[in-house]
Structure 1
Amino acid sequence: MTHRPGLDPAVAEVRLAVRRVLAPLADGDAVVVALSGGADSLALAAAVAFEARGRRVVAVTVDHGLQEGSGEVAARAARCAEALGLEARIVSVAVEHAGGPEAAARAARYRALTDAAGELGARAVLLAHTLDDQAETVLLGLARGSGAASLQGMARESELRGIALLRPLLDVRRATTRAACAAEGLDPWDDPHNADPRFARVRVRDTVMPVLETELGPGIAEALARTAASLREDAEAFAEMIDETIEDIVEHAEAGISVSVAALAANPAALRHRIIRHVVDAEFGESLTRAQTLEVARLVTDWTGQGPIDLPGCAARRLGGRIEFTAR
């Protein structure tokens, strides 16, 4: 990678990553940058400010209200954004604790960011997840043991509620974003939650990853990120196959949906299981564990007259030549 003489390599790397993501957007498009005030999001905001080239950029800071002084932290982040020449907005949210505090905070944050983008007419929200975040996500998925889907990590581009979610820094190390902040004279905020061992992600970051690097050698984070990218490619190919297959084997049923037993049986196990998970997710908005998926698959491959199977949000049962999924 080339950069101008005198430009710090870390700053150049972050800017190039942002430039690649912004390039497909039209000059007049508005974008939102998620800004917590930490090193990753601060380096991202600085790079977007430099690369915006006439686009309207709004830095949105979400105040979850989970820590004492969170309002001042949010105000500090907003001041940083304004110092970079960006518009700044603070959004306060109420965090429901169903599903665990991390998941609840993330859900509330994403709602706030996409709401803000919609109000501003922005096409995209830029998120500051790094290669290190991706590696940690893969390890956490491996620990859950829910199959290849949990090992895909985060997508570089996805969509939520009609808003594009873009992650320009998935190939950038966390050390690089911190170095970029130092080079640009930016003072990031260090979230105390990022050092709290009660959170599984913190234990992965501070304990598991260093042990892996020590015992297996350097490059573990990059290898995990490559694994996520490879599995995501496979998943996209499977998704296309599933979309083509489902049109022929799925029918709407009373209070639910049904799938042809013969068609499921004719497919390889991997595709059969993905079809089952896809049907439940698309129709009822629920994710099945591997154990639940295998129980449904037994209605196809090992049916001995067993009754309905209770699943999240629905029940599955075999009726003649079809598997019927109905709301509970």
Structure 2
Amino acid sequence: MLDRAPAPDAAPIQSDEAAAIFARAFGDAGHVLLAVSGGADSTALLILAAEWRDAPRLSVATVNHGLRAEAVTEAADVAELAGRLGLSHAILAAPVSSKTRIEAAAREVRYSALREHADRIGADAIATAHTLDDQAETVLMRLAAGSGPAGLAAMRPETTRDGLRHFRPLLDVPKTRLVASLAARGIGWSEDAMNADSRFARPRLRTARDALAAEGLTARRLGRFATRMARADAAIAHAVDQAADAHVAMDARDQLVVSAFAGLPEEILLRLLARLIAQAGGGELRLERLERLIGRILGEPKGAATLAGAKIGWRRDAIVVSAAPPRRDGAATVPGV
């Protein structure tokens, strides 16, 4: 009797498929720093990228946040594997001092450590092993947070931050295929107990995976939804660019002025105003507060508010945005914003 072929989402990734994935993801990058923790996903990233004959220069780094004693051994295991593959490896200490929102704090210091190391070694990009499963979890987390289209697009295959490109070449690949790829090659990996810790959102979502899939919310469909939202978000961003060209100017006092805004679709006006507030104020801007401000602008003939470090004044025919003066201690927040 012939053996059955594995299901598509459980089939190992062969070298030719891996080459196509990385050629598409890495493009013209000359030196890519692979972020490898030692877990299954990042170990598969390391193995598959190293098998690619036309790969750019590759380096490897493991970030140790000091949250688990096992991380020292795991980093040493990654160093040993990278050495066997002929790749340089560095262990980056990035302690997390925050006692709350540990996941977000760890992510921030992790990328900071990777950016600094990439700069030291001359890498022009980093690559992480986010999978289709991670993408699906991100969509669900953004839905729970009430995100708009940009947030629901979740992670992008490539982003740029502080001049450094960030590749996610495995974003369309289920975790099961990466595990199968390691098993087929006889490569082991480490398991992080924090990935099953119910204090964190992602592990809680993983426990609901089967129930969600039974209702049609599979990782594949959630990933496809993110792709469609990214496409819609790009179209909206293009419309905002056009609106900025047609409606925004700098006045003699270095204030940003939006003229003849009444005919703009509300989403375009909201995005345009967010862009100008970020430019003038630079503070953290929350969507809910921006939506309330847009409601006031569209509903009141004139008014003024401060938001995210910017001062916004409006009348029927124009919105004026400038840097807000420093707030006095105890100053009240402008009502409605």
Q: In structure 2, what is the equivalent of residue 3 of structure 1?
A: none
Pairing partner for 2:276 from 279, 282, 294: 279
Pairing partner for 2:227 from 226, 229, 240: 229
Pairing partner for 1:238 from 233, 236, 239: 236
CA distance in 2, matches of 1:140, 1:124: 27
- The alpha-carbon distance between structure 1 residues 34 and 284, as it changes in their structure 2 partners (threshold 3 A), is farther
CA distance in 1, matches of 2:271, 2:143: 18
CA distance in 2, matches of 1:98, 1:258: 40
1:128–1:167 Cα contact (<8 Å) kept? yes
Query: What are the within-5 Å matches in structure 2 for residues 252-267 of structure 1?
Result: 252=250, 257-260=255-258, 262-263=260-261, 265-267=262-264
Tell me, what secondary structure is at the counterpart of 2:147? Answer: coil
Q: In structure 2, what is the equivalent of residue 10 of structure 1?
A: 12
Any idea what the Cα deviations from partners look like across 1:224-244, whole Å, max 9, x if unmatched? Answer: 111111111111122222223
Q: In structure 1, what is the equivalent of residue 332 of structure 2?
A: none
AA aligned to 2:204 is: R
Tell me, what secondary structure is at the counterpart of 1:11? Answer: coil
- The alpha-carbon distance between structure 1 residues 294 and 256, as it changes in their structure 2 partners (threshold 3 A), is farther
1:131–1:172 Cα contact (<8 Å) kept? yes
Shift of 1:103: 1.1
Shift of 1:304: 5.0
AA aligned to 2:115 is: T
Unaligned runs of 5+ in 1: 1-7
CA distance in 2, matches of 1:306, 1:126: 47
Q: Once the two structures are aligned, what percentage of the paired residues are identical?
A: 33
2:35–2:42 Cα contact (<8 Å) kept? yes
Q: Are 1:302 and 2:291 counterparts?
A: no
CA distance in 1, matches of 2:250, 2:85: 53
Query: What are the within-5 Å matches in structure 2 for residues 184-263 of structure 1?
Result: 184-207=185-208, 209-214=209-214, 216-217=215-216, 220-252=218-250, 257-260=255-258, 262-263=260-261
AA aligned to 2:112 is: R
CA distance in 1, matches of 2:115, 2:167: 12
- The alpha-carbon distance between structure 1 residues 257 and 196, as it changes in their structure 2 partners (threshold 3 A), is farther
CA distance in 2, matches of 1:324, 1:20: 41
AA aligned to 1:234 is: A
Q: Are 1:165 and 2:161 counterparts?
A: no
Q: In structure 2, what is the equivalent of residue 33 of structure 1?
A: 34
1:98–1:104 Cα contact (<8 Å) kept? no
AA aligned to 1:141 is: R
Tell me, what secondary structure is at the counterpart of 1:238? Answer: helix
Unaligned runs of 5+ in 2: 1-9, 327-337
Tell me, what secondary structure is at the counterpart of 1:153? Answer: coil
Tell me, what secondary structure is at the counterpart of 2:171? Answer: coil
AA aligned to 1:17 is: I
Any idea what the Cα deviations from partners look like across 1:186-229, whole Å, max 9, x if unmatched? Answer: 1111111100010011111222x221113x14x61111111111
Number of residue pairs aligned between Structure 1 and Structure 2: 313
Q: In structure 2, what is the equivalent of residue 139 of structure 1?
A: 140
Q: In structure 2, what is the equivalent of residue 313 of structure 1?
A: 309
1:250–1:257 Cα contact (<8 Å) kept? no
Shift of 1:56: 2.0
Task: State the superposition RMSD in angstroms.
Answer: 2.5
1:14–1:169 Cα contact (<8 Å) kept? no
Q: In structure 2, what is the equivalent of residue 154 of structure 1?
A: 155
Tell me, what secondary structure is at the counterpart of 2:130? Answer: coil
1:250–1:260 Cα contact (<8 Å) kept? yes
Shift of 1:276: 1.8
2:280–2:323 Cα contact (<8 Å) kept? no
- The alpha-carbon distance between structure 1 residues 21 and 304, as it changes in their structure 2 partners (threshold 3 A), is closer
Tell me, what secondary structure is at the counterpart of 2:37? Answer: coil
1:14–1:172 Cα contact (<8 Å) kept? no
AA aligned to 1:221 is: A
2:276–2:321 Cα contact (<8 Å) kept? no
CA distance in 2, matches of 1:261, 1:180: 57
CA distance in 2, matches of 1:138, 1:54: 31
2:31–2:58 Cα contact (<8 Å) kept? yes
2:131–2:173 Cα contact (<8 Å) kept? yes
Q: In structure 1, what is the equivalent of residue 109 of structure 2?
A: 108
CA distance in 2, matches of 1:258, 1:247: 12
Q: TM-score, normalised by structure 1?
A: 0.86
- The alpha-carbon distance between structure 1 residues 175 and 284, as it changes in their structure 2 partners (threshold 3 A), is farther
Shift of 1:306: 4.5
